[in-house]
Chain A
Amino acid sequence: MPNKTNPLIYIVVLALALLFFYPFWVLFLIAFEPTKLTFGLIYPLQFPLEITLTNIVNSFNQVDLLGPLMRSLEVAFIVGGLALLLGIPAGYGIAKLTARISNKIIAFLFIINMMPGLVIAIPISLYFYSAHLENTVLGVALAQELVVLPLTVFIIMGGFRSLPRDLENQARVDGAPLSSTFARVLLPLIRVPILIAFILSWMTSWDEFTYAFIVAPIVPTDSTFPVALYNYVTRDLPLQSATFALVATVPVIVLVVVFQKYLKGQYLSGGLIG
C-alpha cells in the first residue's frame, strides 16, 4: 500500500457517505421542519428553512411512541442476552470439533437465515399460540433469536477458535475448574467477539419486522417499534412515522459510536490475539 492516500479515495468516500446519509437527512427534514415546508410543497427544499419541535411533540401526543420503543428495547436486550447465553456454550462446543464437522454444523445453523422469514415465522407462530407466547415480549424475542443465533454462534466460535488451545489446558493444569477457566481466562479473551455478537444481535432485533409482526402484531399495546412504524405508515401518518423512525435510530447510533472501535472486520473473522 502506498503511504500517500489518493485524494480520489476521499471523494468516493464522501459520495458514498452522502448517499447513505441522504435518507436520514430527509427523515430529519420531515421531523423537524414545519409541515408546510415538507408535505405542503410539491418539491420540498433540501435545506431546513425553519426548525420546529412541534412535529415531535405532536407525534408523541398523538400516537404511543414510547410503548413500542420500550418494548423494542426489552426485546432487543433479551435477544442479545439470550444469544450470548446460548451462543457462548454452543460456540465453545463447536470450536472444539474438527473443522470438517463444525463447518457442517455452522452451515446447518445458517439454513434458518437462508429461508424466507415468513416460511419459518408462520409455523412458529402456531406453536407460540399454543404456548401463549403470542403478543408477548418473550415471544418476539424467542422468534428473533432464530435469526441472530447462527451468526452469534459463528462469531463466538471464531473467537474461541482463535485462542490457543493450551490456554484452556494451562488453566486446568493450574487448578482451575471449568467455571473459573471460563470466567477468568476464556471469556475475557473473547470479550470483543462477545461484544460484537451482542451488538449485532441487538441491532438485528431492533429493526426486525417479519417475526415481530407475526408474533405480536397488535399496535400499540404489544408490538415493537418496526411493527408500529409500519402501522403508522399504512395508516397514512407519515409525520409520526418520520418522527418515530428518527427517534428509533438514536439507540443504534449511540451503540455504533460507543463500540465502533470494535466493529472492524478483523474481529468478525476471529483474529483477536494481538
Chain B
Amino acid sequence: MNVKMKYENVYKYYKSSKILNKLDLEIYDGEFLVILGPSGTGKTTLLRVTVGIEDLTAGKIIMDGVDISKLPPNKRNIAMVFQNYALYPNMTAYQNIAFPLKMARKPRSEIKKKVSEISETLKIAEVLEKNVTLLSGGQKQRVALARALVRDPKIFLLDEPLSNLDARVRVVARSELKKIQKELGHTFVYVTHDQSEAGSLSDRVAILRSGRIEQIGTYEELLDEPRSTWVGDFIGDHPMNFINGEKFGLPKGTLGFRDSWATIGDGEISGTVELCQLGEESYHIQCSIDSSGANQDIDYGEGENSSEASTGTGNFRRSTVGVRSSKKYAVGDRIRFHLDKFNVYDPEGKLIESVNAK
C-alpha cells in the first residue's frame, strides 16, 4: 500500500499541556482510517493540525512526499468536515457546496455540473436551493459532506460527522458513508469516540491515547490482541477482564489460580467460560504478573441461562464475567476457567504474549 500521509514526530502543545506528544502515523492511500480514542486525547487536534488551522509545535506532516506542515490551509488541498458541519448560514445548500469550487476559480458551468453530480450521489438535489439553516440534521451532514467531496481533495478528514444525528439516521448515514468512500476510492480519516462506528467503517483503526498512537490495526486485530491493557480496557463493547495473578504453566489454555479454585462439576463447564463479556466475539483473559495471592471466589449474580454477569472482587479488576452454560450458578459457587484465548501482559500493561489455546 502506498503511504498517502505520514506524521513524523508530531508535537502540539497548548501552553504547558501536550496535546499531541511525539505522534507517528502512516495513512495509506485509499484507506478508511478511523482515529479512535476517549475525549481529550487529541483526536480533533490531530485533524486540525493536518488541515492546517492549527500549527504544529514540532514535527512534520508529509503528504505525497511533500512536507505540508508549514502550508496554510487553503494550499493543502485537504477537505474537512467539522463536527458541527460549519455550513455557511448565509448561503443556500448549493452555494455552500459550490464554495470550494468558487474559491478554486472553476468556471461556472463546471461548478454547476459538479454540484449537481455530488448532490445526486448524496440525495440532496431537492434541497439545493434551500438555506442551510432550514435543513434537517441529516441533510446538513450531507451538504457538509458534499462540500468536502465536491472539490476532489487529496484526503478527507471527518470529525465525528455523525455524532449530531439521531441514532437511526446515524446507522444509515454510516453505511452510506462507507459506500461512498469505497466508490470514490478516496482516503478518509475519520475521528470518533464511538466504537461501533470504528468497527463498521474502518479499514484500520488507530487508537489515540495521550497524544500518541497507542495501537493501529484492523478493528478485529485490536480486539484480539490489544497491545496494552489500556487498549484492552478501552476497546470492545465491554472492557476486557483483567485478573492479576502469577503467570504459570497455563496447560491447554486452562487458566487457574493456585490453591483456591474449586470448580463446579469439574470439567463440565470447561471451555465455556468467557471472560470479557463480549458475547461471541472473544474469549480473552488477561493475566498480568503479580505475586499477590489469588484466593478468589466468584459470586455469580443473576442471569438468563447463566450466561450473565458475575461479580468478583479482589484480584478482579473487571468484575464482569460471562459464562456460557445451561447450568445455573448460585452465589458462592466456584468454577474453574478454561480459556480459549488470552493475552498476558507485564506489570506495566504491555503485551507479552497472546495465547490461543484452541
Could you list which residues of chain A lie within 8 angstroms of chain B, going by C-beta atoms?
164, 166-167, 169-177, 180, 184-185, 188-189, 273-274
Contacts and interface: CB of A to CB of B under 8 A. Distances in A.
Contacts of A177: 74, 103
Given A169-B73, A188-B90, A189-B89, A174 B151 contact: yes
Contact of A164 (B51, B86, B103, B133): B86
B79 interface: yes
B84 interface: yes
Contact of B78 (A166, A167, A171, A173): A173
Contacts of A175: 74, 77, 100, 103-104, 151
B103 A167 contact: no
Given A172-B74, A174-B103, A175-B103, A166 B86 contact: yes
Contacts of A188: 90
B90 A185 contact: yes
Given A164-B84, A166-B84, A169-B73, A174 B89 contact: no
Interface string B41-54: 00000001001110
Given A169-B48, A174-B100, 10 more contacts: A167-B86, A170-B82, A170-B86, A172-B52, A173-B53, A173-B73, A173-B78, A175-B151, A177-B74, A185-B90
A180 B73 CA distance: 14
A170 B161 CA distance: 14
21 contacts: A166-B86, A167-B89, A169-B48, A169-B53, A169-B86, A170-B82, A170-B88, A171-B88, A173-B52, A174-B103, A174-B147, A174-B151, A175-B74, A175-B103, A175-B104, A184-B99, A185-B88, A185-B90, A189-B88, A189-B89, A189-B90
A172 B133 contact: no
B72 interface: yes
Tier of interface size on chain B: 20 to 34
Contacts of B99: 171, 174, 176, 184
A177 B185 CA distance: 29
Determine the main DSSP class of A at the interface with B.
helix
Contacts, number: 62
B92 to A, nearest CB: 13
B34 interface: no
A173 B79 contact: yes
Contact of B88 (A167, A169, A172, A274): A167
B171 to A, nearest CB: 26
A176 B74 contact: yes
Contacts of A180: 103
Nearest to A174: B100
Across the A-B interface, give the 10 residue pairs with the lowest CB-CB distance, nearest first: A170-B86, A175-B103, A166-B86, A174-B100, A172-B73, A169-B53, A188-B90, A175-B74, A166-B82, A176-B103
B80 interface: yes
A168 to B, nearest CB: 9
Contacts of B79: 173-174
Interface in B51-106: 51-53, 72-74, 77-80, 82, 84, 86, 88-90, 99-100, 103-104
A181 to B, nearest CB: 9
B89 A173 contact: no
A173 B151 CA distance: 11
A171 B86 CA distance: 9
Nearest to A176: B103
Contacts of B86: 164, 166-167, 169-170
A174 B156 CA distance: 12
A172 B72 contact: yes
Contacts of A189: 88-90
Contacts of B90: 185, 188-189
Contacts of B100: 174-175
Contact of A273 (B78, B89, B103): B89
